[in-house]
Structure 1
């Protein structure tokens, strides 16, 4: 079935050619049949796929390390104020795991292989795995890790710009949740400091 070309409404003072949008469906259909083995990656993909897959795998390692750290902190949280903090750690661990799954799925869509190997996980990860001795230490280490993820993901988003909007949106979605996590940890730290005085 042929779909008629769509025209966008014109705006004042602009050239007519800037206001028209016409799909070259014949060209798109022909290109879709070329290199079908590349799946979702078409000729219009303009990012360096190897670099993007590397960034995704580093971020996957980051999310796995964060999941493991939050899980440890959940189980090791002790003290009079530990119960709500531990519950927050557990919630964050689940969200970090969901981030890892999103990243792994995108790696596969781009024709790569997600690197789940424990060997080298810490060197691939942006954040560190610091156990922390006290509840306060655990909160601080999680806050530091979230701040590292926030800055590294912002840089990745800036690098991707319009070259890979799908991957950029995944990182934007993850970034928003990492900012919430950092805010949660900062609130807990502030509350813990008030309790200490």
Structure 2
């Protein structure tokens, strides 16, 4: 016979307490008392990731429009796809920053200083592929470190970063294939 767990809340806060806290701290939005990280530090980290994504958007777009040569068309198209996917990552990061009570830093002044990736304009497709691959590898390592930092203390941000990381790994794989 199965045990009845209806009244077993040994690991959960009672509903009345949860409701009372929610009403008392309604202005805090998504940040509840159980949030274990320093929101300012988290917002700073996410703004760094946002800067990295925006630099990647611009670099990929630059490469997409300047790629030339007999085999440039499909590679330029791939760069544009990557640029759009990086922009989607930036949107996710910006929305999470706002959700945590921060302001996304999108001012172009200082963007490259905050970014982990570099903006490198290149004069050949081979160099473009290599620079984009370097940037993807930097992003992969940055996201892995951030995911470890968030651990189980902010599972929402961690899950978002894991999704972005998976896409960055796919980008790196596609770029590595272009070098062959």
Q: Could you tell me how far 1:100 is from its partner in structure 2?
A: 0.2
| Aligned with residue 90 of structure 2, among 100, 118, 124 | 100
Deviations 1:98-153 (A, max 9, x none): 00000000000000000010111001001000111100000000000000000011
CA contact (8 A) 1:6 1:21 kept: no
The answer to whether structure 1 residue 87 and structure 2 residue 77 are counterparts is yes
TM-score by length of 1: 0.86
User: Against the structure 1 CA distance between its residues 140 and 7, is the aligned structure 2 distance closer, same or farther, given a 3 Å change threshold?
Assistant: farther
Q: Could you tell me how far 1:48 is from its partner in structure 2?
A: 1.2
The answer to whether structure 1 residue 31 and structure 2 residue 27 are counterparts is no
Alpha-carbon distance in 1 for matches of 2:6, 2:131: 53
| Higher RCO (C-alpha 8 Å, min separation 6) | 2
Q: Indicate the SS of the match to 2:91.
A: helix
Name the structure 2 match of 1:193: none
Q: Give the root-mean-square deviation of aligned CA atoms.
A: 1.7
| Aligned with residue 179 of structure 2, among 145, 167, 189 | 189
Structure 1 moving runs of 4+ over 3 Å = 4-8, 20-23
Q: How many residues align?
A: 177
TM-score by length of 2: 0.94
Computing the radius of gyration over CA atoms, which structure comes out larger, 1 or 2? Answer: 1
Alpha-carbon distance in 1 for matches of 2:177, 2:7: 50
Name the structure 1 match of 2:152: 162
Q: Indicate the SS of the match to 1:157.
A: helix
The gaps in structure 1 that reach 5 residues or longer are 9-16, 191-197
Alpha-carbon distance in 2 for matches of 1:7, 1:76: 65
Q: Could you tell me how far 1:160 is from its partner in structure 2?
A: 0.6
